[in-house]
Chains A and B, each alone.
Chain A
Amino acid sequence: MFYKTSGQFKTSYKSDQALFPVKQDAWLLIAILALAYVVFPLTANEFTFKALLVPVLIYSLAAMGLNILTGFAGQLSLGTAGFMGVGAYACYKITTIFPEMNIVVALALSGFFSAAVGVAFGLPSLRIKGFYLAIATLASQFFLVWLFEKWAWLYNYNASGAIEVRTMDFFGLTVTGPTATPLTQYYFVLGIVTVVTIAMINITRGRYGRMWKAVRDMDIAAELVGINLMRAKLTAFAVSSYVVGIAGAMLVFFWKGAAEPNLFDIPMSFQILFIAIIGGLGSILGNFLGAILIVALPVLLNVLPDLVGIQVHSAAMEHVNVMIVGALIVFFLIVEPHGLARLWGLIREKLIIWPFPH
């Protein structure tokens, strides 16, 4: 009833291929954007910004980067956190070497460093694939974290061995450092995530996106129809690592404020892979749904006992929390192996024909 598509006729190929072939989709998106841009900022408190909204956005972005590689181009990667680290350290070095540089420019530049490293570690994909490639990407993961630890130049020989973010302005508005208000940081992150998301939707719908999908679905067939496999795979690594690198830099600059090398260790890679897979491989929307489940749900589970007034010891809660997250991952994989995005697709189909069963 609410999602009725009758009466919306497509009269040209172009309109059939439009971003929103169904009018309601556009309305829904506007509603979500209104929620993100207007309702949340008006209602959320500092804890909600810092522990829920900002991390969810940043992790969605990282998962989106991974999804380009794994979901669209079919190359399984377990090294995401290492590339995030490259982005973060590059951004740190750029902003300390050129303190006058605009933070957005620095972010955009740091993505190129992670893209270059991504392409270098993507070279094995030309020879191997599947789990062998996945383990090969772990090589980058372990090597990069080791490098962050050993190469003191990267952290400017700080006594603490960690990178720290100083206060930076964006056209007079403080966006990083302790004095930046959570609201400003939230809007800033939201803005960047929106722009990158729009860019990614367009890339994946365009020439490169189709090339990647062809390689994913059957590489030999793709090669036969004239797709250059090397180019397809390496561009996927480049674009993916670029987005992942930006997400890494944002993680440190707009959320944490300081980072030790082992932040970028393997648990984060897995966390992002979870987001991408639970959200749905080959979907942009899925990354956001996945991040809500994987990043926000544990936080909510932690505050739940307080809200309902049960006294649970924090450590016991943490054990239960880990168990719940593990069980949920298995649960969602069983219920819908294609991810939450697919689940939404099913709901949407039901809605379209509702109230009729078929």
Chain B
Amino acid sequence: MKSLTKFATLIAASTMLVGVGAATVQAADSLYTPNLTYRTGPFAATGIPIMNGQRDYINMLNARDGGVGGVMIDFDECETSYNTNKGVECYEKTKGDAIVTQPWSTGITLQVLPRTNVDRIPILAPGYGFSPMSDGNTFAWAFNPPVSYWDGASMILNGISEGNLDNLKGKKVALLHLDHPFGKEPIPVIKALAEKHGFEFLPIPVGLKEMQNQSAQWLQIRRERPDFVVMWGWGAMNAGALTEAAKTRYPMDQFVGVWWSGHDADLEALGAKGKGYRSLSWNVPGNYPVMEDIKTHVVDAGNSMIENADEMDSTFYQRGVVMSMYLAEAIKEAQAKFGTAKINAEQMRWGLENLDISEEKLASLGMAGMTTPFSTSCSNHTGHGGAWMLRWDGEQFVQDGDMLSPDRDLIMPMEAEKAAEYAKNNAPWPGRGDLACD
């Protein structure tokens, strides 16, 4: 009987809550920029360092400059565990006062994409999401700077062919990818390039349940003997693939990963055995003045979630910093244009659309050379800057060669075509609607 009363109170308490719903309380004079994080679940290994970097940069701005343009930034996290159901919940919970939403996971991005048109909130998805989002005239509210996955595929091929794709003629390129929309993303571009330049393309899918046990995939690689293996992996898949590659003695200098497959911790586990592995990255880790500021104002002040200061040197942490820099710079652009410090979501959209990350600006932020310069426009929501190859030298990632750029002539028409197809499938799709391009 005692448990019955307990149960009754539980029911009563929950019914009371239903009416209240989500009352996320924000201070009136701050800008609310929620981040839909995944610090738990099978992909947490990738998520945690990046999200720490994102959070710490904003905290640094708040501590050092008192926010952006005199307004504090309320950088709230809502945990999704990479689960799309939680994604709906988090988006709905945070959208009220949000000036931007950062959905992470391609799946959540796809779910949120049509709604942001109606709710009029811009999506900021740096380095992930759906490549055709670059077409700003179709996807007016979505931004994926500085490069898209399609750009990434093209840059990796440029990198491994040493600048001339015809060098790949007659060779075999395997794509070891997560069998999931994210992993399938580069396939159309590599396929198109394979036809154009006469190399053989072999996709090798890794199931979500097989991420940690890729022996079948690496046996296939041993049988097919591809000249290059390109990896599109996430979370636990990267460590699994690198271990198997070392085990089957696949030459590491013919093994290249996308930017999510370059987590320092995965390679530290291999040490010298991983020497020669390359990962594309649109940020170069190093000692930048901005990192000093983060250390003084956030890490030393005990406001960071990282466990020791060494984690600040990792590529992923610094990538998180770069992502938040885009966010802060877009806020600045919007503040300057509209003459108000407390901008709204629509003004923020304008800021993201007119983002100009130049060399000078990077230098003034203490981030010279840390990431690729680029600028966005009405028709170009990605910026398509560029990226570097980072090579694992046995102890750390070092920059390998000059910045690579994507083959935009090939990708642009593909983006336009797929964007049009998306708009058609989701008709009536608003497109730019009433948003002026200025």
Are any A and B Cβ atoms less than 8 Å apart in their complex?
yes
CB of A258 within 8 A of CB of B110, answer: yes
Q: Select the stretch in A111-119, A214-222, A314-322 that faces chain B.
A: A314-322
B308 on interface, CB distance cutoff 8 Å: no
Residues of B close to A263: CB separation below 8 A:
84-85, 107
Main secondary structure of the interface of B (DSSP, over half): helix
Residues of A close to B18: CB separation below 8 A:
40, 44, 48, 52, 296, 300
Residues of A close to B335: CB separation below 8 A:
none
CB of B426 within 8 A of CB of A167, answer: yes
A180 closest partner in B (C-beta): B118
Bound CA span A315–B80, Å: 8
CB of B19 within 8 A of CB of A318, answer: no
Chain B 9-50 per-residue mask, 1 if CB under 8 angstroms from chain A, else 0:
000001001111111110000000000010110000000000
CB distance from A295 to the nearest CB of B (A): 9
CB within 8 Å of B: which of A190-205?
none
CB of B427 within 8 A of CB of A166, answer: yes
Choose among A40, A296, A309, A318 the residue that contacts B79 (Cβ–Cβ < 8 A): A318
Residues of A close to B25: CB separation below 8 A:
306, 309
Bound CA span A315–B14, Å: 22
CB of B428 within 8 A of CB of A307, answer: no
CB distance from B303 to the nearest CB of A (A): 12
CB of B425 within 8 A of CB of A156, answer: yes
Chain B 358-397 per-residue mask, 1 if CB under 8 angstroms from chain A, else 0:
0000000000000000000000000000000000000000
> Known: A303-B93, A347-B4. Contact between A164 and B88, CB under 8 A?
no
CB of A260 within 8 A of CB of B107, answer: yes
A177 on interface, CB distance cutoff 8 Å: yes
CB distance from B206 to the nearest CB of A (A): 12
CB distance from A71 to the nearest CB of B (A): 21
Chain A 149-160 per-residue mask, 1 if CB under 8 angstroms from chain B, else 0:
100000010111
CB of B19 within 8 A of CB of A43, answer: yes
A124 on interface, CB distance cutoff 8 Å: no
CB within 8 Å of B: which of A230-276?
255-263, 265
Bound CA span A313–B188, Å: 40
CB of A167 within 8 A of CB of B427, answer: yes
Bound CA span A209–B126, Å: 54
Residues of B close to A162: CB separation below 8 A:
107, 110, 181
Choose among B3, B79, B84 the residue that contacts A256 (Cβ–Cβ < 8 A): B84
CB of A47 within 8 A of CB of B21, answer: yes
A152 closest partner in B (C-beta): B184
B419 closest partner in A (C-beta): A159
A166 closest partner in B (C-beta): B426
> Known: A257-B114, A315-B39. Contact between A306 and B426, CB under 8 A?
no
B171 on interface, CB distance cutoff 8 Å: no
> Known: A48-B18, A159-B418, A297-B14. Contact between A256 and B111, CB under 8 A?
yes
A109 on interface, CB distance cutoff 8 Å: no
CB of A164 within 8 A of CB of B110, answer: yes
Choose among A43, A51, A55, A159 the residue that contacts B22 (Cβ–Cβ < 8 A): A51
A289 closest partner in B (C-beta): B11
Bound CA span A303–B131, Å: 34
Residues of A close to B421: CB separation below 8 A:
158-159
CB of B84 within 8 A of CB of A260, answer: yes
Residues of A close to B179: CB separation below 8 A:
149
B77 on interface, CB distance cutoff 8 Å: yes
Residues of A close to B136: CB separation below 8 A:
none
Main secondary structure of the interface of A (DSSP, over half): helix
Residues of B close to A179: CB separation below 8 A:
118
Residues of A close to B130: CB separation below 8 A:
159-160
CB distance from A79 to the nearest CB of B (A): 15
Choose among B79, B117, B185 the residue that contacts A317 (Cβ–Cβ < 8 A): B79
A16 on interface, CB distance cutoff 8 Å: no
CB of B21 within 8 A of CB of A256, answer: no
Bound CA span A156–B89, Å: 28
B65 on interface, CB distance cutoff 8 Å: no
B94 closest partner in A (C-beta): A47
Chain B 417-433 per-residue mask, 1 if CB under 8 angstroms from chain A, else 0:
01001100111100000
CB of A335 within 8 A of CB of B89, answer: no
Chain B 131-166 per-residue mask, 1 if CB under 8 angstroms from chain A, else 0:
110000000000000000000000000000000000
A328 closest partner in B (C-beta): B10
Residues of A close to B19: CB separation below 8 A:
43-44, 48
> Known: A164-B114, A346-B4. Contact between A314 and B77, CB under 8 A?
yes
Residues of B close to A319: CB separation below 8 A:
40
Choose among B92, B106, B132, B428 the residue that contacts A46 (Cβ–Cβ < 8 A): B92
A325 on interface, CB distance cutoff 8 Å: no
> Known: A158-B425, A162-B107. Contact between A255 and B92, CB under 8 A?
no
> Known: A149-B179, A167-B427, A315-B79. Contact between A335 and B114, CB under 8 A?
no
Which 5 residue pairs of A and B lie closest in terms of their CB atoms, listed nearest first?
A315-B39, A161-B181, A178-B114, A318-B79, A314-B79
Contacts A50-B88, A261-B180, A307-B17 aside, 9 further interface pairs with beta carbons under 8 A come to: A40-B18, A44-B18, A52-B18, A165-B426, A260-B180, A296-B14, A306-B24, A335-B7, A346-B4
- 27 A-B pairs within 8 Å (CB atoms) are namely A43-B19, A44-B21, A45-B22, A47-B22, A47-B92, A51-B89, A158-B421, A158-B425, A164-B110, A164-B426, A166-B427, A167-B427, A167-B428, A178-B115, A256-B111, A258-B111, A260-B110, A260-B181, A292-B14, A306-B22, A307-B17, A309-B25, A313-B305, A314-B78, A315-B37, A315-B39, A347-B4
- Could you tell me which A residues sit within 8 Å of B by CB distance? 40, 43-48, 50-52, 55, 96, 146, 149, 156, 158-162, 164-167, 177-179, 255-263, 265, 292, 296-297, 299-300, 302-304, 306-307, 309, 313-315, 317-319, 322, 335, 343, 346-347
